Amino acid sequence: MKILSGTALAASFEEELKREAVALTGQGIRPGLAVIQVGEEPATQTYVRSKVKTAERVGMHSVDHKLPATASQAELEALVDRLNRAPHINGVLCQMPLPPHLDGGRITRLIDPLKDVDCFHPYNMGLLALGEPRFLPCTPAGILELLTRYGIAVGGKHTVVLGRSNIVGRPLSILLSQKGWDATVTLCHSRSDGLVELARQADILVAALGQPEFVRAEMVKPGAVVIDVGVNRVADPTAKRGYRLCGDVDFAGVAPKASAITPVPGGVGPMTIAMLLRNTLVGVRLQHGLAEA
Ligand SMILES: NC(=O)c1ccc[n+]([C@@H]2O[C@H](COP(=O)([O-])OP(=O)(O)OC[C@H]3O[C@@H](n4cnc5c(N)ncnc54)[C@H](OP(=O)(O)O)[C@@H]3O)[C@@H](O)[C@H]2O)c1
């Protein structure tokens, strides 16, 4: 059984990204990423810190815009508008979910599609669905890179994706089913009948549900490749912080049965951040006419 380490792969990606960021900076274009967070949810703060730190490590300019949880829709929209027009910013993302009084859909649509490094804008999602993506959504892109760089063949394989969110399961299922990837894809959700039987048929099983250790050994075909997207905080009084992190897969039970598996933490998560920075470079190329918009 092979451990698919996102930490190791993301580190080698960072080297590639750094080379490109340094070359662009040498031409007078320092790539810039702006991250907006509203409120002080601890998990969000951790993700944002990690994005900003990694961006700086690869030589990008990054700005973390923190708004209070009481910020109004107008204030948030004014900030997005300012960042859309800022020439030194090539990528803009707003950390979701937003507090309930704010309209996240409007913000997603307001971000300039050429700076939409999360690839949430309907225009970019449309291009993705047509097989002509400009940006790739970060988590699905990270999973595709993990599969590719660990030499896992996807063509013709039955891939079962558990979870149909617009940021993970649905775009991943679209990408994997397209020409080039050529997987046979089954997309499951909370209303799927016979989910356990479907999961058991998977050559490649992707768990993106947000349900701690949902996938147990009996749901996995011997020799399957298992990709665990979940990041869950589970109360644990013996842990230093009072909680432990776990995925959507029961790693201890499933790993001995799988041919390859991603750990949590250290699997999909670091790859998601690497892909965000790759998208920031795509943003630079689009905005400077170095790639076709
Ligand atoms: N590692 C990373 O970089 C990364 C990035 C993004 C997300 N994540 C993690 O990945 C997980 C999923 O995130 P998300 O944003 O995609 O979640 P989400 O928006 O909450 O969507 C969860 C999906 O799982 C389905 N689901 C939930 N419980 C189920 C059950 N018992 N049986 C079958 N389907 C079920 C839901 O079905 P319905 O549609 O029917 O409700 C929904 O489609 C979370 O743990 C999140 O923290 C990690």
pLDDT digits (tens, 9 = 90+) for 89-139: 999 999 999 999 999 999 999 999 999 999 999 999 999 999 999 999 999
Active site residue 51: yes
Instruction: Supply angle C-alpha 96, 40, 62, rounded to 5.
Output: 70
Residue list, ligand 1 pocket, CB within 6 Å: 139, 162-165, 167-169, 188-191, 195, 208-211, 229-232, 268-269, 272
Q: Of these residues, 112, 116, 118, 250, which one is catalytic?
A: 118
Active site residue 118: yes
pLDDT, one tens digit for every residue, the chain (293 residues): 999 999 999 999 999 999 999 999 999 999 999 999 999 988 888 889 999 999 999 999 999 999 999 999 999 999 999 999 999 999 999 999 999 999 999 999 999 999 999 999 999 999 999 999 999 999 999 999 999 999 999 999 999 999 999 999 999 999 999 999 999 999 999 999 999 999 999 999 999 999 999 999 999 999 999 999 999 999 999 999 999 999 999 999 999 999 999 999 999 999 999 999 999 999 999 999 888 87
| Backbone φ, ψ for residue 292 (5° rounding) | -75, 130
On whether the CB atoms of residues 119 and 125 are closer than 8 A, the answer is yes
Active site residue 103: no
**Residue 26: exposure state from Cβ atoms within 10 A (0-12, 13-18, ≥19):** exposed
**Ligand 1 centroid to 230 CA: how many Å?**
7
For residue 202, give the nearest of 162, 147, 248 by alpha carbon: 162
Residue 161 has a pLDDT of: 99
pTM, full prediction: 0.97
End-to-end CA distance of the chain, in Å? 42
